[in-house]
Every structure is written in C-alpha cells, then in structure tokens.
Amino acid sequence: MPLKRLRSYRKTLAFRLTLWYAGVFAVSSCVAFLLFYTLITSFFRDRTDQELLGQAREFSTVLASRGLEAVKSLAMLEAQAGGVKKVFFRLLSSNGQVFSSSNMSYWQDIDIRDAAIKELLRANRSVFETIAIPNRKDKVRVLHVMIGTGVVLQIGQSMETDSRFIDAFKNIFVITMVLLIAFAAGLGWFMARRAVSGVEAVTRTAQEISGGTLDKRVPVGGRGDEIDQLATTFNQMLGRIQTLITEIKEMSDNIAHDLKSPITRMRGLAEVTLTTGNEIGEYKSMAASTVEECDRLLDMINTMLMITKAESGVHQLDEKTMDMARLVRDVCELLEPMAEDRGLHLGCETLETFPLVGDPRMIQRILSNLLDNAIKYTPSGGSVKVSLSEIDGREAIVTVQDTGMGIPPDDLPHIFERFYRCDHSRSEPGTGLGLSLARALARAHHGDITATSTLGQGSTFTLTLPKTRAPQATAST
Ligand code: ADP
C-alpha cells in the first residue's frame, strides 16, 4: 500500500475508532490479566505457606514429644522424601548457629537469614521470605519459625512447579492477547467502516453537488439508523435547495422579462418622439407616459420587496385590535364604484362585528387585491360577492366569489407564484404580483389564502385569519 494512502487512512475516523477499540480492548485485557495473575500467585504462595506451617507444626510436636534427635532424623527423612531439590531444613539456635540440616548442596546459596531470625525473636511469630537464587529461574519460599525453646527451624520449599505453571499462563496469555487484539482491531475496523460508510456516501454526494449536479441524492439504506436519518435530512435539504434555486431562476427570468417590457416601451416612445416629434405637446405626452411607466415600475419593485419581506418575516406588522367586519365593509365601499363602472353587482355580507388582531393596512391590501381581481376578471353583467364569517370565534373567514372567467385547472396551482398570469386573462392589465403579495401578507398574519375555480363559471378566494396570533417563528412560504 503506498505510503500516501496509508497516511490518509491514518486521518480517517474509522482508523481512529479502530485504534480506540483495539486500545480499550488491550488495556482492559491487561487489567484482567494482572488481577488474575495476582490472584493465582497469591493463591500458590498461600498454599505453599500452609504446607510449610503444617510441616513446622509436625516438627514442633516431635520436638516436644521425642526430643531434638528425633527432630533431626525427621528433617533428614522429610528432605529425602520431598526431594533434595524440592525442600530443605535447617535447625538453628536462637543466635543463628546451625546445629543440624538436610542435604544443602543444592541450596548453598541460601544462607542464614539473620534479619529473619531477629524479626522472629522480636515479634515472636513465623517469618516468611521469598528468595530468588542467582542463575536459577525458580524461587524458594522460606519459613523461619520457633519450634521449641531456643530452637529455630528454617524450612524452604522450591516454587518451581508454581513458577512453571505461572510462566505457562503468561505465555498463553500473551499469545491469546496478540491474537485477540488483532481480531478486535479487524472487527473494529469492519464495524467502523460500516458505520462511517453512510457518512462517506453523504460526503461523496456533497462533493458531486459542489461539482454542479444538484439532482444527486444520497442512497438511504432503509435501516432507519442515524446514518439513514442523516441521509434523509441531507436529501430533504437538497430537495429544498433545488426547489429554491429553480424558483430563484424562474423569478429572475420573470423579473428580467417584466422589467424589460416597460423599459423597452419607454425607450421606443422616446426614440419615436426624438426622431419625429416637433411639437412641445408630443414631448409633454412622452414625459407623461414615461412618468406613468416609471410609476408602474416603482410599484412593481415595491411590491416585490414587500413580498420578500413578508415571506422572510422581516416585514414589521403594525398590529392592533381592529374590527374585521368594518374593514370588509370599507373595502367593498371603496371598490363599489369600480364594480359599477364595469357593470357588475357587488354584494357584501358581513358579521355585525369581528374584533381581530392584525395590521389593518396590510389586511386591507389583501382584500383589495382579491376584490380587484374578482372585478377585473368578471365580464360585465356578472356579480361579485364578499362575505365574512367566523369559525368558533377563533378565525375570520372572508370569501370573495365571482361569476367571472374562472381559472384553468392547470393554472390554478400556480396563480400565487410571483409574476404568474393565466394566458386567457392577459387582456386585463396586471403584474402577476397581487396574489403573491396577498398570500405572503396573509401568512405573515399566520393565516392563508386558498382558491377554487371553474373555468367559465367563476372563482372563489378564501382568506383565513386567526383572531389572535399564537407566538410563532417566522412565516413559512
Ligand atoms: P394580476 O396582476 O395579473 O391580476 P395576480 O397575482 O393578482 O396578478 O393574479 C394572478 C393571475 O391569477 C391573474 O393574472 C389571473 O390570470 C388569475 N386570477 C386571479 N384572480 C382571478 C379571478 N378572480 N378570476 C380569474 N382569474 C384570476
């Protein structure tokens, strides 16, 4: 494996997780081994100590019942029976003088332990020592004990068998540990790779997207785990970004188109007046048209700004408790002359009163837009009906119903989009921003507007506004 690839692996989360996994496993195994090792060695030592004490008791009994000579011959016998390389005995006086011992040729490195004898005399209790013999692997456990007045017994027992067992245990442990740590590292690597593979998929998709392919999605495993949740959330976010970008593209196309038309008109008029106009009257008329077009443009730009502010929640509503019934009546009165001009019957059915918390100017703007459209898109002889009702005293419902040209089913889902205008209604003046603004303002009040329509028969727009606003975050789009 090339060095560079190895280096890049070292930085991965999977590598670090594997290291942690193997490290924690190794440390906990070592702790377990140390505990077990301490337990085994102390068990063997206690067992040896008990054997030594048992023999010392036997010697003490023989000394008391049969005298020193019997003890000496018992020491010889015991040493021969136990094995010269296994046990040894020394009988000493309390000043450390040896007066009898078993065959000590194998044990000549073990001398008289003056410190142990002093300790024995001082504390008057058995003294144990573990002595390592130079150039020999095994150790020896030695007991110093008083078996009678002025008679000290030094008795030693080789710990070779125990050492061999412990060595074998150590070897088996080390081999098992190495194998287990390798296995744990492999398992850890496999698990870590599995866990982070989902994150890698998200990263790969993000990289592909930054390369320009916004329609890519992260595959969702279907396991329902955290990685799946991450992938789902990431995909949802991508979907939202894609929609937003498409909307922004469409909107900028629309803006470019709708701003271009009046500017082209103004330029055309100015050009014609410059080339053919001689009279001051012609220049005055050009100036008046330019002012009119500029007003239209300004109105359009202001409306666009207002929609954006309302949708993003930046627009500050001047809220107060107002009478919705009165507002509906006022808007009807205001637009009554326009309806009359177009030969329409405008009916208004409202409640006596309906207090509501909202921005009166903005709500008036919503109603004016709806009513203006109903009048605009209803041919002469038709009728427009505005009615105000309520649901459980919690919500005001305003419906604006007309018997006009209606909206084709294909257009209906789009009429609230900025600049959207149905083809069949293009003969009427308009910017395609009125309904977008109305809905944005309604949503800023935590209400909404919906529309139903039958082509050729008429449309109904329903505005819903809550009586009071529950404290919420910014309005959604
Ligand atoms: P506009 O300035 O064109 O009226 P709006 O945003 O108010 O813009 O409306 C968008 C489109 O929805 C209109 O162009 C029209 O095609 C359609 N529309 C709105 N209200 C009505 C209605 N009452 N009857 C028929 N069509 C309507």
Yes or no: say if 139 and 131 are a contact pair by the CB < 8 Å rule: yes
Least confident of 101-110, 152-161, 288-297, 352-361: 101-110
d(CA 269, CA 125): 126
Yes or no: say if 312 and 474 are a contact pair by the CB < 8 Å rule: yes
Per-residue pLDDT, 266: 87
For 95-105, give one letter per residue: b (16+ CB within 10 A) or e.
Answer: eeeeebbbebe
Average pLDDT over residues 340-350: 95
Best mutation site among 368, 416, 427, 435 for ligand 1 pocket (most ligand atoms within 8 Å of CB): 435
Ligand 1 in reach of 421 Cβ (< 6 A) = yes
Per-residue pLDDT, 477: 34
Q: Could you read off the pLDDT of 121-154 as tens digits, one per residue? A: 888 788 999 988 887 777 899 999 988 888 889 9
d(CA 378, CA 374): 6
Per-residue pLDDT, 442: 95
Average pLDDT over residues 440-459: 95
Yes or no: say if 9 and 180 are a contact pair by the CB < 8 Å rule: no
Per-residue pLDDT at 331 exceeds 90: yes
Per-residue pLDDT, 2: 61
Ligand 1 in reach of 440 Cβ (< 6 A) = no
Rounded percentage of the chain residues whose pLDDT exceeds 70? 96
Triad 469, 314, 390: Cα angle to 5° = 25
d(CA 445, CA 361): 12
Q: Residue 261 — very low, low, confident or very high, per pLDDT cuts 50/70/90?
A: confident
> pTM for the complete prediction?
0.55
Atom in ligand 1 nearest the alpha carbon of residue 400: 23
Average pLDDT over residues 173-183: 88
Name the CA dihedral angle for 422, 423, 429, 430, rounded to a multiple of 10 degrees. Answer: 30
CA nearest 443: which of 309, 335, 295?
A: 309
Residue type, 245: I
Per-residue pLDDT, 118: 86
Q: Residue 4 — very low, low, confident or very high, per pLDDT cuts 50/70/90?
A: low
Helix (H) or strand (E) holding 448: strand 448-454
Per-residue pLDDT at 336 exceeds 90: yes
Q: Could you read off the pLDDT of 206-220 as tens digits, one per residue? A: 788 777 777 788 778
Average pLDDT over residues 346-354: 93
d(CA 309, CA 441): 9
Residue type, 413: P
State the chain's maximal CA–CA distance in angstroms: 158
d(CA 465, CA 477): 16
d(CA 278, CA 274): 8
Average pLDDT over residues 364-383: 96
Per-residue pLDDT, 166: 85
Give first-to-last CA distance, the chain, whole Å: 53
Average pLDDT over residues 370-385: 96
d(CA 100, CA 104): 11
Least confident of 104-108, 311-315, 349-353: 311-315
DSSP result, 54-83? HHHHHHHHHHHHH-HHHHHHHHHHHHHHH-
d(CA 225, CA 204): 19
Average pLDDT over residues 16-30: 86
Q: Residue 471 — very low, low, confident or very high, per pLDDT cuts 50/70/90?
A: low
Best mutation site among 375, 400, 425, 452 for ligand 1 pocket (most ligand atoms within 8 Å of CB): 425
Yes or no: say if 115 and 109 are a contact pair by the CB < 8 Å rule: no
For ligand 1, the distance from its centroid to the CA atom of residue 344, given in whole angstroms, is 17
Per-residue pLDDT at 389 exceeds 90: yes
Q: Residue 73 — very low, low, confident or very high, per pLDDT cuts 50/70/90?
A: confident
Per-residue pLDDT, 470: 57
Per-residue pLDDT, 472: 46
d(CA 305, CA 195): 47
Average pLDDT over residues 101-107: 84
Ligand 1 in reach of 415 Cβ (< 6 A) = yes
